[in-house]
């Protein structure tokens, strides 16, 4: 290898190192940065006018599962919800699917025209939006749910993923149901455990 080849190889190595530094944003953690990175808090987003958004969440604990769901309008006002603990030994993704079914059952009792079902379970939302190509047991169950939705429900609907920080109310209801070992259905008189978070995003 001559000098020009060595120089070219060094340039390539340096370029790769610079790219890695940029991609992974390598910092010196021993020193406080001169310009601290701003932390922007993300939160629940209000749906468009005329829509109702139902956030749902679920959790598993041994042979039990709990779920929580809450429906809000375009102003961020609570229209109702549900929380429960069930004796079901299921995996987390199946628990999330059960929470969705509870959300659908809840919505069917209302006269809403346009619904958004929102969850932080990315795998479930992906399967809901690509149900025709999923041949798994869960995929089959999801197709059954979608067929029932299309045949029996008189509202339009969509399935949306949101990060966990945007699904706090449903998560709080889920944890509250587990701690209290209770079942609750509510309309506008929602449990006090979610009051502060509801109020925060209603005024944004």
Choose which CATH entry (3.30.420.10, 3.90.1150.10, 3.90.550.10, 3.60.10.10) describes domain 52-202. Answer: 3.30.420.10
Higher per-residue pLDDT: 36 or 174: 174
> pTM for the full model?
0.77
Q: Return the domain boundaries, the chain.
A: 52-202
Binned at pLDDT 50, 70 and 90, residue 48 comes out as very high
Higher per-residue pLDDT: 11 or 61: 61
182-198: buried (b, 16+ CB within 10 Å) or exposed (e) per residue?
eeeebeeebbebbeebb
Residue 79 in contact with residue 72, Cβ under 8 Å? Answer: yes
Q: How, if at all, do strands 156-161 and 184-186 pair?
A: unpaired
| pLDDT reported for residue 130 | 82
What are the tens digits of pLDDT across the range 70-83?
A: 999 999 999 999 99
Q: Taking 90 as the threshold, does the pLDDT of residue 200 lie above it?
A: no
| pLDDT reported for residue 183 | 87
* CA pair distance 136, 120, nearest whole angstrom: 21
Q: Taking 50 as the threshold, does the pLDDT of residue 26 lie above it?
A: no
Residue 159 in contact with residue 117, Cβ under 8 Å? Answer: yes
Residue 122's alpha-carbon distances to 21, 85, 112, 133, in angstroms, are 29, 23, 25, 17
Q: Taking 50 as the threshold, does the pLDDT of residue 15 lie above it?
A: yes
Give the mean model confidence (pLDDT) for residues 33-60.
80
């Amino acid at each position: 290898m001559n000098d020009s080849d060595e120089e070219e190889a060094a340039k390539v190595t340096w370029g790769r190192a610079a790219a890695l530094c940029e991609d992974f944003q390598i910092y010196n953690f021993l020193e406080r940065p001169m310009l601290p990175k701003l932390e922007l808090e993300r939160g629940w987003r209000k749906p468009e006018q005329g829509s109702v958004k139902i956030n749902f969440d679920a959790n598993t604990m041994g042979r039990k599962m709990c779920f929580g769901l809450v429906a809000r309008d375009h102003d961020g006002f609570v229209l109702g919800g549900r929380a429960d603990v069930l004796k079901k030994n299921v995996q987390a993704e199946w628990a999330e699917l059960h929470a969705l079914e509870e959300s659908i059952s809840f919505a069917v009792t209302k006269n809403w025209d346009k619904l958004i079902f929102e969850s932080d379970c990315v795998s479930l939302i992906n399967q809901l939006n690509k149900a025709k190509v999923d041949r798994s047991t869960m995929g089959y169950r999801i197709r059954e749910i979608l067929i029932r939705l299309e045949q029996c429900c008189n509202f339009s609907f969509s399935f949306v993923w949101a990060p966990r920080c945007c699904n706090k109310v449903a998560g709080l209801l889920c944890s509250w149901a587990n701690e209290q070992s209770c079942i609750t259905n509510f309309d506008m008189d929602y449990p006090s455990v979610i009051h502060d978070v509801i109020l925060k995003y209603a005024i944004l």
